[in-house]
Amino acid sequence: MTEKINNWFKDKKLRFLVTGAAGFIGTNLILKLLDLKQTVTGVDNFITGRTSNIDHIIDIAKKANFSDFKFIKGDLNDFEFCKNITENIDYVFHEAAIASVPWSLKEPHLFHSNNDTAFFNILNASRISKVKRFIYASSSAVYGTNSNVPSVEDAIGEPLSIYGAAKLTNEIYAKAFFNSFGFESIGFRYFNIYGGFQDPYSAYAAVIPIWVKKILNNERFVINGDGETTRDFCYIDDIVDINLLAVMYDGGEKAGVYNAGSGKSVSLNELIQALKGFFGNDIKYEYGPFRDGDIKHSAADITKAKRELGFNPKFSLKEGLVQSLEYYKNLFK
């Protein structure tokens, strides 16, 4: 898959806009695009993103003598700003959003503006600017009340959170923009993505960065529930690849949504065992109550992405953790 991607991009110089550039997925996408010698504009308003991620990208870009990266600070709630940044862009990767289910229940309005209005603005601006394809981050949260696993794309339930509702709204708008205007998009329902540049500091950080930070600081962490909760953990490099495959896609579906995960489900107890493999049996943790609103099982059926996009995730949990731990060890040293 990686070779196919490298070959496809080899003789091309395309112009990309990446929103959420200072965030986890945005940063990783930009680093790969620059490595592929593409031209990239990154934007972020730093509501949750980290300036250190942008500094790192600029550093890499300078060292490699890339003149192909530009960062613009700004808010996608501003439609004029969206129109300006989408001018002369071939493909948009829209990764900007606030990425937390519990936070969305505390501040619904904040989520409506950053996850819905911002999405609509950048989608509509991309259409006006004649962007070739709009590739965006949806979420497994759209499965909501449908708890059947593994999740398949055409069997969603009702949203269980404001965050889930916003992501579902994004998908509906993207489809309407194709049906109304012929504007092409691809949405990815990410499951639990992990890897370097994922924020370990936020009060709403994801499970792997939280636990790894606690372990490296020799602190005790809490497992919400009995540890038999399952998640589909997918390493970031595979997610970067699926986004690039969306650029290369020349199939028939013009406003598709795809599950983006590893296709393998792992329990939190299994994750603990994997971490013990790296840190030894002495890591300190305890079991606590289940967290309100958490679903018990989550797993991605990735048949559609394999069939239509040629997606073939290659990182096992252990391999992905090796890479991620390298990042966190450097961050906390």
Interface residue list for ligand NAD (CB under 6 A):
19-20, 22-26, 43-49, 75-77, 95-99, 114, 118, 137, 139, 190, 192-193, 199, 206
118 or 162: CB nearest ligand NAD: 118
139 or 324: CB nearest ligand NAD: 139
For residue 66, the minimal CB distance to ligand NAD (Å) is 21
327 is catalytic: no
Give the CB-nearest residue to ligand NAD.
23
For residue 260, the minimal CB distance to ligand NAD (Å) is 8
For residue 103, the minimal CB distance to ligand NAD (Å) is 10
Q: Which of 163, 173, 194, 328 is catalytic?
A: 163
- The residues facing 69 across adjacent strands are 40
For residue 234, the minimal CB distance to ligand NAD (Å) is 8
Give the 3-state secondary structure of residue 200: coil
Distance CA(185)–CA(93), nearest Å, equals: 10
Contacts 24+ apart (CB under 8 A), 51-57: 51/22, 53/21, 53/22, 53/23, 53/26, 53/27, 53/197, 54/21, 54/22, 54/27, 56/27, 56/197, 57/21, 57/27, 57/30, 57/31
Distance CA(69)–CA(1), nearest Å, equals: 25
Q: Which among 98, 131, 124 is positioned nearest to 17, based on CA atoms?
A: 131
206 or 309: CB nearest ligand NAD: 206
For residue 34, the minimal CB distance to ligand NAD (Å) is 17
Give the count of alpha carbons within 13 A of 28, CB side only: 23
What distances in angstroms separate CA 308 from CA 247, 256, 259, 275, one per listed residue? 13, 10, 12, 34
49 or 200: CB nearest ligand NAD: 49
Rounded to 5°, angle at Cα 282 from 280 and 283: 90
8 or 224: CB nearest ligand NAD: 224
Give the 3-state secondary structure of residue 12: coil
- Residues marked as catalytic: 163
